[in-house]
Structure 1
Amino acid sequence: MAVALSTLVEEANRYLNCAAISDYCPNGLQVEGRPQVLRIVSGVTASQALLDAAVEVNADLILVHHGYFWKGEDPCITGMKQRRLKTLLKHDISLLAYHLPLDLHPDVGNNVQLAKQLDITVEGPLDPSNAKVVGLVGSLAEPVTARDFSRRVQEALGREPLLIEGSAMIRRVGWCTGGGQGYIDQAVLAGVDLYLSGEASEQTFHSARENDISFIAAGHHATERFGVQALGDYLARRFALEHLFIDCPNPI
């Protein structure tokens, strides 16, 4: 049975506590489509490839982690942005996007969901003194080598990660999905043996080497596939809807 778009959006906003989170983009309903929702398509980013795939399966709503209208971007509706919005409006499909609320959520959040994939027991925030740092710290059931943990990441995410290997066995892990490589300094202060993020910067190599901790860059897209799936599943269960996750591969 279909649910009213307004009801679904209200529940998603409430569940993710959007009103309490300051972000770089609007969270929630970014493009309004048909008033009733029966089929949800979820994906990491609202790319043209995802939009086209959603049209093919007659989706009513697209749910993503990376949506549109970021602070500082050109507001003109031209080029790629025009084509994307035209696709949504032509086919009367809604776009629902959650950025930091989906990173932070304790159940369906990207960071918590990645921990489940990697068998990490969550202990708490990466930096308890700074709520803007969305990463977490946790522990493994048994210590492993950095290379063994890297293989675990590869098996879970389906891609070979970049590994900078430190000298210690891996017992405690810090991580932040997506572009969280800048939190490596907080990871050092947290006393972890390995820090994992989606991306790496030039200086990340030196921070890992000089502080003698292992570092893994597992891919921005790859580390953020699980939160949006979990949120889509939650909404599908809550309102008895159809939900289909569509993975549009991205090597970064």
Structure 2
Amino acid sequence: MERSALLALIEQQLQSSQIRDYCPNGLQVEGKAEIRCIVAGVTASQALLDKAVELGADAVLVHHGYFWKNEEPQITGIKKRRLQTLLRHDINLLAYHLPLDVHPVLGNNAQLAQKLGLRQFSAVPGVSPVGVLMQGQLEQAVPAEVIARRLEQELGRAVLHNSVLNKPVRTLAWCTGGGQSYIDAAYQAGAELFVSGEVSEQTIHSSRELGIDFMAAGHHATERYGIAALAAFIEAQTGVRCHFVDIDNPA
């Protein structure tokens, strides 16, 4: 399909032009106009680009692309090698950051809700962009350790659990990736447990002093599923072959 049609389809679904972000969303590096094969992954690392070349991809679709706010503008070192790979092989780079976090169906937060066993969930009001912090309730209260074990099984990695309530929990809030700073907003929303990807030193103190359980389940691990869902959506809508490639990352 034509690159322009693919971009229009994704824009229609994610509404990325309506969301202020730390990086450009959509086409970041221009390649060939006709797209027959897409490689999707969490981050546009060199390993993912090399896999795209191996698979003959015309486009790479990621959550974490390039050109972040306040990054050094020089095209040197790692950045030079990555861009050189894309340009040499005429491969498009498409990246969607916050729009892919907040989408109510395909988004990272919506996909993590499924891993948490939540059938109904909603955006926490007053937090921008809408959907970056989600909340929901389990059908019944369960020990937080049960949720931690479920996440470990679903995500395939160890979960850091800071337990403070020492009682079953039912009301959850979550933000995938580097969303640990939303712990205060999660507490204000009434959550008994807040789940994110990363943890900072101050997050544990906030958890203890606010009285809210906290889990860090991995930045990469919690953000694998949005980009995979978007790739599956594109393939179903267009018939363009989409390969999701999971480049292992313990962070």
TM-score, length basis structure 1: 0.96
Give the aligned length.
249
Q: Who is 1:46 aligned against?
A: 44
Q: Who is 1:196 aligned against?
A: 195
Q: Who is 2:89 aligned against?
A: 91
Equivalents in 2 of 1:40, 1:141: separation in Å? 39
* 2:32 partner letter: R
Match runs of 1:118-157 below 5 Å = 118-126=116-124, 128-132=125-129, 134-157=132-155
Q: Who is 2:101 aligned against?
A: 103
* 1:182 partner letter: S
* 2:73 partner letter: P
Cα contact 2:102–2:129 (8 A) shared by 1: no
Match runs of 1:201-216 below 5 Å = 201-216=200-215
Cα contact 1:124–1:137 (8 A) shared by 2: yes
CA displacement 1:147-177 (0-9 Å, x = unmatched): 1110001011000110001223120110000
* 1:39 partner letter: C
One of 28, 36, 41 as aligned partner of 2:34: 36
Q: Who is 1:224 aligned against?
A: 223
Q: Who is 1:173 aligned against?
A: 172
Displacement of 1:76 in angstroms is 1.1
Matched-pair identity in %: 53
SS, match of residue 36 in structure 1: coil
Q: Who is 2:183 aligned against?
A: 184
Equivalents in 2 of 1:181, 1:218: separation in Å? 11
Cα contact 1:41–1:244 (8 A) shared by 2: yes
Cα contact 1:34–1:60 (8 A) shared by 2: yes
Cα contact 2:232–2:242 (8 A) shared by 1: yes
Q: Who is 2:235 aligned against?
A: 236
* 1:202 partner letter: E
TM-score, length basis structure 2: 0.97
TM-align CA RMSD:
1.0
Cα contact 1:169–1:193 (8 A) shared by 2: no
Q: Who is 2:65 aligned against?
A: 67
CA displacement 1:198-227 (0-9 Å, x = unmatched): 000111101111122110000000000000
Cα contact 1:112–1:122 (8 A) shared by 2: no
Residue ranges of structure 2 left out of the alignment (5+ in a row): none
Equivalents in 2 of 1:190, 1:18: separation in Å? 26
CA displacement 1:75-121 (0-9 Å, x = unmatched): 11111000000000111111000000001111101100111122113
Moved over 3 A (4+): none
